[in-house]
Amino acid sequence: MTDSRPTSLLPRLTSSLLATSSDLPARLAATIRLRVPGYRASSPVSDQELLDSCSTQIGFIPSLGTPDAERERTVRMIGAARAQANFPLSAVLDAIRVGSEFIWGELVDHARSFESASDAELVSVAGQVWTMSDEFVSLISAGYRDEEELRLINSQRERYALIDTVLSGHDKPNATLWDAVDRLGLPRDRPYVVVAIGAQGNGRVPAPLIDRRLMEHELDSVWLLRSDVELGIVSCFHEQIRFVRKSLQQFGVRAGISPVTEDFGQISHAVRLARTSLAASGDGQVTFFSDSAVNTMAAGAPDVAAELAAIVLYRVLELPESEREMVLDTARTWFGTGGSVAGTARALFVHSNTVRNRLRRLETLTLRSLSDPRDAAELYLAVVSLPLRRHGTRSSRDGTKRET
């Protein structure tokens, strides 16, 4: 038969101790104030709060090993309260350790004074006291971590709301525009750009890493993830734009950058320009708004640009697929090489005469001459706008050139 006396001895000793020492919680609180620096003068933990937690720790012992949901909730709430007060968890755990040592010493003195337990029995009981301490630490820590996580979530939500206020360019119920700018730590006396980063294949963008890289150049930034894009506000001067572009390029993202502006009231316009620059960017490309006026204009009015492409390239788009792609690829390459036939021939691994023939074919089909600046501009805009055209749509208009 197993002797269960040591198990039952601990709660019995504790109950007897409390019956003869009603001031035990107060003496424990005084001991913690003395031995744990965080609980001394100017501590955020009041005398009553400390006394209550000491009473809870002492009262934890008699019910050791007995499930008690209310008791566990009370202990967790102590941990949560310390987190709310920004009190270090390390100091809380030091107080529990000091409390366990104090309680054990009081139990030993009481047992010996009343001869209610032998030294051998007390040795067995000691393990239960430290088991109690471990359980108390576990519950306190869980409550503390839960509160920290909740506060972090609320802090992030508040931060996102502030960023959204700034991006809108006007006051919102949660904060005024300038209050949001100040609370986010964005300098009022520096201009800024808006960055729009396209979502990657997994829907994520490395904004935290980009933010860290920008900080290396002493550039402040804040970021907000939307369903299709991550928007960033970066404080920078005109001469620092190259650092912004370089930081983005290092992560291989597709992004657009607005012009530099100093007026936070115009930030919603800067957002639109950043999104337009993003739309004009290719995969892994970072585009500044002024990089290419034609590409940016096409991206800014995709419906109009796509309709233009359908009208100008109508007869080209009617060609069999292989011939159509051959003519369009030659045109794209020719424009990309600055109108160099030789450069186009090298890029496509064909003879220069082949390039000339294909370009003449483009001119014939579109009734536009690449040697005429106005015609060439229309053809270039149509070619770069073609990806914006919905697949399979066709214009009801023909490709006849207007007479002027």
Q: Which domains are delineated in the chain?
A: 5-152 (1.10.490.10), 187-294 (3.30.70.270), 302-388 (1.10.10.2840)
| Backbone CA torsion sign across 265, 271, 272, 276 | positive
Distance CA(6)–CA(23), nearest Å, equals 26
Distance CA(87)–CA(38), nearest Å, equals 8
User: How many helices (H) and strands (E) are present in the chain, helices listed first?
Assistant: 17, 5
Chain centroid offset of residue 229 CA: 13
- Cβ 190 vs Cβ 133: under 8 Å: no
Nearest to 148 by CA among 82, 83, 81: 83
**Which 8-state DSSP code applies to residue 370?**
T
For 29, the token pair is 């609180």
The DSSP-derived string for 292-351 is -HHHHHHHHSHHHHHHHHHHHTHHHHTS-HHHHHHHHHHHHHHHHTTS-HHHHHHHHTS-
pLDDT at 95: 92
List, in order, residues 6 or more apart from 362 with CB less than 8 Å away. 316, 327, 330, 331, 370, 379
pLDDT at 1: 37
- Cβ 280 vs Cβ 287: under 8 Å: yes
pLDDT at 6: 46
List, in order, residues 6 or more apart from 298 with CB less than 8 Å away. 280, 305, 381, 384, 385, 388
pTM to 2 decimals? 0.54
For 347, the token pair is 């890029």
For 125, the token pair is 């009981």
Position 170: which residue type? H
pLDDT at 395: 39
Mind listing the pLDDT tens digit of every residue in the chain (404 residues)?
344 444 577 777 877 887 888 888 999 999 999 999 989 878 899 999 999 999 888 887 766 556 678 888 989 999 999 999 999 999 999 999 998 888 888 888 888 887 777 777 777 777 777 777 888 899 999 999 999 999 888 888 888 889 888 888 888 887 888 899 898 888 888 899 999 998 765 556 677 888 888 888 888 899 988 877 889 999 988 888 888 888 888 888 888 888 888 888 888 888 888 887 787 777 788 888 655 545 555 555 566 566 667 778 888 888 998 898 999 999 889 888 888 999 999 999 999 999 999 999 999 998 888 888 778 877 887 887 776 444 333 433 444 444 33
For 205, the token pair is 């963008």
For 78, the token pair is 């102590």
pLDDT at 112: 82
- Cβ 382 vs Cβ 314: under 8 Å: no
Q: Backbone phi, then psi, for 193, in 5-degree steps? A: -130, 155
Residue 285 three-state SS: coil
pLDDT at 404: 34
pLDDT at 352: 92
